[in-house]
Amino acid sequence: MGEQLDNISPITEHTTLLEAKNLSHEFDYKLFENINFKVKTQESISIIGMSGSGKSTLLNILSSLLKPKSGEIIYNNKDLYELKKKELLNIRREDFGIIFQAHYLFRGFSASDNLKIATLLSQEEVDNELLKKLNIEFVLNQGVGELSGGQQQRLSIARVLTKKPKIIFADEPTGNLDKDTAQIVMDTLFDYIKKNDAALILVTHETDLANQCNKVYKLENLQLKELK
């Protein structure tokens, strides 16, 4: 009985999914210094800041793609950059949903094949409701190269969500989209994190969209300032 109770996690309590500790990074110049922050289940966080301030670099670091000069990214009680390569790859493949400006779709394949590849990796089903919401259900048989930029972007978002990630890292996910479609994409992401107890970390220049997140941070003067 005791054992069973230990396995039940409280649904109402939002737990920390990812934590950044004392992060610093630089390329030709210092981008940020001793940044700390946490993201919890069902939480959406946006990061804004001037062009060149280091937003995409920060997202790359948080999403396991770039080792910081110093600091830690704690996921499942471990620093991502201390993990063995295979463990890190598994987390990236299974738990992290990375939506970046370059779509990383398989261009020689149809839209539907691209989604099926995601289901093979995750054993999840393609969610037809999601495709309808994103207004791409009618392009499934087309080759990726035949899709418009905005359709490719929405397809890559659908593909990422199909594998049911715990954390979505999105860098300008609405960059190619008109205002209404951008809102549909944001609503889809917000809906996803609620239903799946996941989290969203969003980098954007669009303050309207940034402000819809639970928390808004600005990367400025080497620091991440909490605006909301």
Ligand X SMILES: Nc1ncnc2c1ncn2[C@@H]1O[C@H](COP(=O)(O)OP(=O)(O)OP(=O)(O)O)[C@@H](O)[C@H]1O
Q: What is the nearest approach in angstroms of ligand X to the Cβ of residue 52?
A: 5
Nearer to ligand X, 49 or 150 (CB): 49
Min dist CB 86 to ligand X, Å, is 24
Give residues with Cβ within 8 angstroms of 140, minimum separation 6: 110, 111, 112, 115, 131
> Smaller CB distance to ligand X: residue 40 or 69?
69
Query: How near is the Cβ of 53 to ligand X at its closest, in Å?
Result: 4
Measured from the CB of residue 64, what is the shortest distance to ligand X in angstroms? 15
- In the bound complex, what is the minimum distance in angstroms from residue 6's beta carbon to ligand X? 42
Query: Maximum CA pair distance of the chain?
Result: 58
Closer of 56 and 110 to ligand X (Cβ): 56
CA distance 197 to 72: 23
Map residue 20 onto helix, strand or coil: strand
Q: Which is nearer to ligand X, 48 or 158 (CB)?
A: 48
- 175 phi/psi in degrees, rounded to 5: -55, -35
C-beta closer to ligand X: residue 161 or 173: 173
Residues that bind ligand X (CB under 6 A): 27, 31, 49, 51-57
Residue by residue, DSSP assigns 150-206 as HHHHHHHHHHHHHT--SEEEEESTTTTS-HHHHHHHHHHHHHHHHHHT-EEEEE-S-
- CB 56 to ligand X: min, Å: 3
Nearest CB to ligand X, comparing residues 8 and 102: 102
SS (H, E, C) 91-159: HHHHCEEEECCCCCCCCCCEHHHHHHHHHHHHCCCCCHHHHHHCCCHHHCCCEHHHCCHHHHHHHHHHH
